[in-house]
Structure 1
Amino acid sequence: MDLNTVVEVRDARRRDTWRPGDAWLAGGTYLFSEPQPHLRRLIDLGRTGWPPLLPAPDGALEIAATCTVAELSAYPKPAQWPSAPLFEQCCRAFLASWKIWHLATVGGNLCNALPAGPMISLTAALDGVCRLVAQTGAVREVPVKDFVTGAGRNVLQPGELLRAVTLPARALARRTAFRQASLYGLGRSGALLIGTLDASDGSFALTVTASTVRPVRLDFPLLPNAEALREGIAHAVGPGEYHDDIHGLPAWRRHMTFRLAEEIRRELAEEETR
C-alpha cells in the first residue's frame, strides 16, 4: 500500500532528531499493509548491517530486531538445544507467504504487540530480554513478557528502538511443548501456549499467548498437577485479559487455554518418566 502521507525515508545510520510522525522501518510488512495517516517520515533500518543471529560465548543467542522469519527458521540450531523444535513451530505459526517470511522481522512482530504474534510467544517462553535504545543512546533491558503490555501496546517510549532480543543459554537447554489453536485451518492463532521444563532443577514454566491480550507467564518450582495448573492460570489471567476479536471469543479462548495447558503438562510429564 502506498503511504501517501510519508514525505521522506531516511537511512537509520544517519543520526537525526526524532520528530512527531516518525517511525522505524524494518521489514515493512505491517507498515505497508494498511493506511498510516499519522506518519510523515520512515527511518529505514535495512542498512544497519546488524548480524541476524549472534551466539554469545556463554551460550546465549542474540536475535537482531531486523532478523527475518526466514533467517530465524534457517539458522542451524545446535544439537544440544532441546528447545530447537520450538523455533520452527513458532515460525510456522505465522501461516504467512514466502514473501512475508523473507521480509517480516522478529523485532517488528514484537513491536506490533499483536496477541497472536508468534515471535512474542517464542521469545517470552525462552526468557527473552529486549535491549532498547533511546534517542539519547541510553540502553535499558526489559523482559519480553513485560515488553508487551496489551493488544497493540508495548513499553517503547517515543523514538526508542528495539535493537535485539537475547535468549539465555539455560532457557535454550529446556525441553519444550507447543500447542496452537485457531478457529480455521489456516487462521490466525486464537491460543498459543508453550511449556518448558528445566532438566537441571525440574522447574516448569507455561507461557500463554494469543488467547490473552499480553503474554502471561506462570512459573512453578516443579511440574504441577492438573489442579495446581488450572488454579495458576485462573489466578494469573483475569476475566478481561482474554482477547476478543473475529478470531475467537474470550470464552472460547479461555476454554482452549485450559485445555492446551493440560495437554502440555501431560506431554512433559510423560517425557519425564521415560
Structure 2
Amino acid sequence: MDLNTIEQVTDAADAGAWRPGDGWLAGGTYLFSEPQPHLKRLRDLTAYRWPALTDGPEGLQIAATCTIAELREYPNELFAQCCDAFLASFKIQHVATVGGNVCAALPAGPMTSLTAALDGWCTLEGPDGVRRRVAVTDFVTGEGTTMLEPGEFLRSIFLPASALGGRTAFRQGSLHPLGRSAALVIGRVADGGLVLTVTASTKRPVQLRFAHLPTPAELGTALEGAIPDDLWVDDVHGKPSWRRHLTRMFAEQVCGELR
C-alpha cells in the first residue's frame, strides 16, 4: 500500500532528533499493509546494519532487523516451527523482520510466541540512546499494544542458552489449513518442570511455570486461573470458547509429549 502522507525516508542513524510524525521502518511488511495517516517520516533501522544473529556461550542475540528467513536458518526445530506458523510466502519471509512481528503485537505473531517461550528479553532504545531491558512476556501488553514509549525502538531480543537447550513441544491450530493461528502453545522442559507459553488465543502472551510436569487436571486449573475471560481473543478467526478448548487440548498434548 502507498503511504501518501510520507514526506521523507531517512537512515535512522542520520535522522537526528525524534519529532512528531516519525515512525520506525525495518522490513515494512506490516507498516505498508494498511494506512498510516499519522506518519510523515520513516526512520530506516536497516541502516544500522546490525548482524542478524549473534550466537555466544550465554545465548543468542537476535537483531530486530533479522528477517524471518535468516532466523529460520538457526539450527533449532522450534525456530522452524514458529517461522512456518507465519504461513507467509518466501518473499515475505525474506523481508519481514523478527522485531517488526513482535512490535506489531498481533496475538497470532509467531515471533512473540517463539521469543516468549524461550524466556526472551527485549532491549529497547530511546531517542536519547538510553537502553532498558524488558521480558518479551511483559513487552506485549495487548492486541497491538506494547511497552514502547514515543521514540523508542526495539534493538534486539536475547534468548538465554539455558532456554535454547531445553526440550520443547509445539502445537498450533487455525480455523482453516492456511488460516491465522487461533491458538499456539509451546512447552519447554526446565529444571525437571514445565514452562508453558500460550499465544494467539490470548491478547498477550501468558506463561505458566510448573515445578513438575502437571497432570491434565492441574493444567486445567492453572490455565483457568491465569487467563481471565476478557483475555481470550474474540474475532473472525475463532470464538473465545473454541480458543479456550484448543488451548487446553494443546497444553495437555504438549505436556504428554514432553513427559
User: TM-score interval w.r.t. the shorter chain?
Assistant: over 0.9
Query: Which of these residues, 97, 105, 108, is aligned with residue 89 of structure 2?
Result: 97
Where does 1:220-235 land on structure 2 (aligned, <5 Å)? Answer: 220-235=210-225
Aligned to 1:29: 29
Ranges in structure 1 where 5+ consecutive residues have no aligned partner: 78-83, 270-274
Aligned to 1:183: 175
Cα root mean square deviation, aligned: 0.8
Question: For residues 89 and 240 of structure 1, do their structure 2 counterparts lie closer, same or farther at Cα, with a shift above 3 Å needed?
Answer: same
Give distance in 2, aligned partners of 1:45 and 1:142.
20
Deviation of 1:48 after TM superposition, in Å, equals 1.1
- Which residue identity does 2:196 align to in structure 1? L
Ranges in structure 2 where 5+ consecutive residues have no aligned partner: none
Deviation of 1:27 after TM superposition, in Å, equals 0.2
> 2:193 aligned with 1:194, yes or no?
no
Give distance in 1, aligned partners of 2:211 and 2:165.
17
Give distance in 2, aligned partners of 1:27 and 1:101.
10
The 4+ residue runs of structure 1 with deviation greater than 6 A are none
Query: Which of these residues, 138, 160, 168, is aligned with residue 152 of structure 2?
Result: 160
> 2:14 aligned with 1:14, yes or no?
yes
Give distance in 1, aligned partners of 2:211 and 2:46.
42
- Which residue identity does 1:264 align to in structure 2? V
Deviation of 1:74 after TM superposition, in Å, equals 1.7
If each structure's strand is expressed as a fraction of its own residues, which one has the higher value? 2
- Which residue identity does 1:262 align to in structure 2? E
Query: Which of these residues, 238, 241, 245, is aligned with residue 228 of structure 2?
Result: 238
Aligned to 1:218: 208
SS at match of 1:181: strand
Deviation of 1:73 after TM superposition, in Å, equals 0.6
Deviation of 1:56 after TM superposition, in Å, equals 2.1
State the aligned residue count.
259
Deviation of 1:125 after TM superposition, in Å, equals 0.2
| 8 A contact 2:57–2:161 mirrored in 1 | no
Deviation of 1:15 after TM superposition, in Å, equals 4.3
Aligned to 1:80: none
SS at match of 1:27: coil
- Which residue identity does 2:174 align to in structure 1? S
Aligned-residue identity in percent: 59
Aligned to 2:243: 253
Could you tell me the TM-score, scaled by structure 1's length? 0.93
Could you tell me the TM-score, scaled by structure 2's length? 0.98
Aligned to 2:62: 63
Give distance in 2, aligned partners of 1:116 and 1:57.
31
